[in-house]
Chains A and B, each alone.
Chain A
């Protein structure tokens, strides 16, 4: 079952042809539908996501060496995505459609990742329990009477319940690390400046950083490798060589 596999394991399975992106994406979309009571996702576009998966499978047939292509990730609903809703957990932005993609989204897309959906969060990332979202609280998959932590609680709950193999969150004062801990996952807040903040709805600009919420350190390294790097559109982006995290 794909949801028993880590992101890195799924990547290896895709490379050997043991599974297709369409099979992976369909499986996780079904799991999202079956676990709606967790309230981990704010928006999911099934048709568009499946079309991307079919496209990934098609291009992989022509180019067998397509590392990462067709792997699913979920995005905290704080990252601007062109032509898709970006609510930031707030009623104020509940109908906001960004005219551009965040750099994180561009980089994930460039490496072939498929965004499975946008995850629930504390309103404007201000919270540590994921109870303050306009879209309602997120439940902890381990015990639905408990909170998943926050503010990236939707991302943590989604990975923890294996509705997606890995997700992206943001951390200002613990918003990746704390929900990852509450849900039994790996959460990484990279050094400030390592990942571009362009297109990330700001909370405290001099502290905000995006980062991965994953099942393992290996998966965190995989996503950090894709997201890290200098971006001229973020005035405090770190202009330094990115190490090989893997």
Chain B
């Protein structure tokens, strides 16, 4: 599978990332190479191989449903660019 130059330009526009016209060509090659690698890995026979969730033999920890952390919303919001009534404000990106 390959990613065309126009695919790159389209995705860049959706993600609001500015790229120069000459860069689109290079990104299309780089991204196509990544997908080619994924295709190669997909060809490997992994039948019967157990998926590894953790290199150590441990179970995912559960915890009691009790409040331990204090609310730090004011502290977190203090570093935001724009907040209003406890909400984070971001630029409008969807027309």
CB within 8 Å of B: which residues of A?
Answer: 96-97, 99, 191-193, 206, 232, 235-236, 238-240
Contact = CB atoms under 8 A, between A and B. Distances in A.
Interface of B: 53-56, 58, 60-61, 63, 72, 75-76, 78-79
B52 to A, nearest CB: 9
Which secondary structure characterizes the binding site on chain B? loop
Contacts of B61: 232, 235, 239
Given A192-B54, A239-B58, A232 B63 contact: yes
Contacts, number: 28
Which secondary structure characterizes the binding site on chain A? loop
Contacts of B56: 191-193, 238, 240
B58 A238 contact: yes
A193 B63 contact: no
A236 B54 contact: yes
8 nearest CB pairs, A to B = A99-B75, A192-B55, A238-B56, A193-B56, A99-B76, A97-B79, A236-B54, A99-B79
A232 B64 CA distance: 12
Contacts of A99: 72, 75-76, 78-79
B30 to A, nearest CB: 13
Contacts of B75: 99
A229 B58 CA distance: 15
- Most chain B beta carbons < 10 A, residue from A96, A192, A232, A236: A236
A178 to B, nearest CB: 20
